Amino acid sequence: MCRDFLWLAGTCLAALAVLLHCSASCAIESRADEPAPGDFAAAARVLEAAVVDGAFPGCVATVGNAEGPLWTRAFGHSADDGKQAAAEDTIYDLASLTKVVGTNAVVACLVRDGKMALDDPLEKFVPEFVEAGEVAHRAARRRVTIEHLLTHSSGLPAGRPLYKTASTYKNVLAEAARTKLAATPGEKMVYSDLGFMLLGEAAARAGGRPLLELERSLVFEPLGMRNTLRRPGAELLSRIAPTERVAGSLPDDRKFVHGVVHDENARAAEGLTGHAGLFSTAADVGRFAQEWLRALDGKGDVWPRELAKKFVTRRELPKGSSRALGWDTPSGRSSSGTKMPKAFGHTGFTGTSVWIDPQRRIYVVLLTNRVHPTRANQKIHAVRRDFADAAVGQGLGAGD
């Protein structure tokens, strides 16, 4: 009887195992076309296709949340000669991501520490901005505040080719300070490199040290961003993706801008300006984005929650502007795609971008050198949107 019982029990267990296997197989088959949690195959396909299409020679992407990265991958090559594959530790010229990763982050620290206030006039830190203006225009220049610079509503124009007449940081800054206002402060939103050049110097003077030292001590070191820097040394050249072809315009007649900042005004200013000049990896930019999510959760190591919320919220200066403090927010056909309407982020001319969504609690980083070999290549715009949508749409259901 005991043997019969054991035989019967064994038979039942075997049948149960077969049933469970069949059920699992059926469930897997029924979900074959659906992404599994953490499956970024669609995002990978977007970037693979972009490389084949020539949107850029290569790229590194990372997606993560407040706890850290969920997916990181390199695609293509560092240059169009196809000799060196892009790697997860490839270093890219951040271009205008410098504005948020460097300058804006430092300003937030200085506001946190009481060394700078949003309503402080620029004149408080850079008095030559007013002194250099025509007497009739000085009253308007005195009204330009730190908040105006952060929201690109200072009245300064977008830019000027300062590199044509200046070749040092001191001289580039002096030229920027002499720039005439094109509008009344607070009246228009005009994305201005000139404004962030002056903001970077204002931050340096408020903090009592050059901007690159403040970036390192206040932001990069606390966050473990060991591969984020200005003016990288020759020992890093093999890891840096080259940018544009400009034969004859650089020392030793190199064929491409490589290891020095791509932006001409930043290059003339020795890579020290607040609008461009930083180099970094996708992992480091991801750490930076992760810290903003942590700060918004009240768990940040650098910025307190209320300050973080203030910096990422639209200021409506002027009314209808998409700009927060330093950051942009989605509007129209934004590079954030269609699935992160509550995000904040920024892009860089060389083909870089970061978008952070506090609603879904995720970040999406894409670093490329789309200006290699030429800035005429504009395919990056569609790729950014498609990549953001694919990355957010796979396995990250929060907020759906």
pLDDT in tens, 83-139: 999 999 999 999 999 999 999 999 999 999 999 999 999 999 999 999 988 898 999
| pLDDT score, position 249 | 54
Residues 87 and 138 in one domain: no
Predicted local confidence at residue 136, as pLDDT: 85
Q: How many domains does the chain have?
A: 2
Are 122 and 193 in a shared domain?
A: yes
Q: What pLDDT does 16 receive?
A: 40
**Angstrom distance (rounded) from CA 369 to CA 93:** 8
Task: Note the pLDDT of residue 248.
Answer: 57
Question: From the first residue on, what is the mean pLDDT of each consecutive set of 10 residues in the chain (400 residues)?
Answer: 42 41 36 52 97 98 97 97 97 98 98 98 98 90 98 98 97 97 97 98 98 98 98 97 78 77 98 98 98 98 98 97 98 92 97 97 98 96 97 60
| Co-location of 145 and 235 in the same domain | no
Give the Cβ contact number of residue 362 at 10 Å.
24
Output the pLDDT for position 255.
Answer: 85
> What's 48's domain CATH number?
3.40.710.10
Are residue 242 and residue 385 in the same domain, yes or no? yes
Does the residue 32 lie in any domain?
Answer: no
pLDDT of residue 38: 67
pLDDT confidence of residue 251: 54
Asked whether residue 363 falls in the same domain as residue 231, the answer is yes
Is residue 30 in some structural domain?
Answer: no
Considering the domain architecture, whether residues 184 and 245 belong to the same structural domain is answered as no
Judgement on whether residues 231 and 374 belong to the same structural domain of the protein: yes
Contacts 24+ apart (CB under 8 A), 393-397: 393/35, 393/42, 393/339, 394/35, 394/39, 394/40, 394/41, 394/42, 394/43, 395/35, 395/36, 395/37, 395/38, 395/39, 395/40, 396/63, 396/70, 396/360, 396/362
Runs of H (alpha helix) within 297-364: 305-312
pLDDT, tens digit, 9 for 90 and up, residues 152-194: 999 999 999 999 999 999 999 999 999 999 999 999 999 999 9
Query: Which of 238, 241, 242, 219 shows the shortest CA–CA distance to 229?
Result: 219
Question: Does residue 335 share a domain with residue 229?
Answer: yes
Q: Residue 220 is encoded by which pair of tokens? A: 């990069």
Domain boundaries, position 307:
41-98+211-393
Strand, helix or coil for residue 176? helix
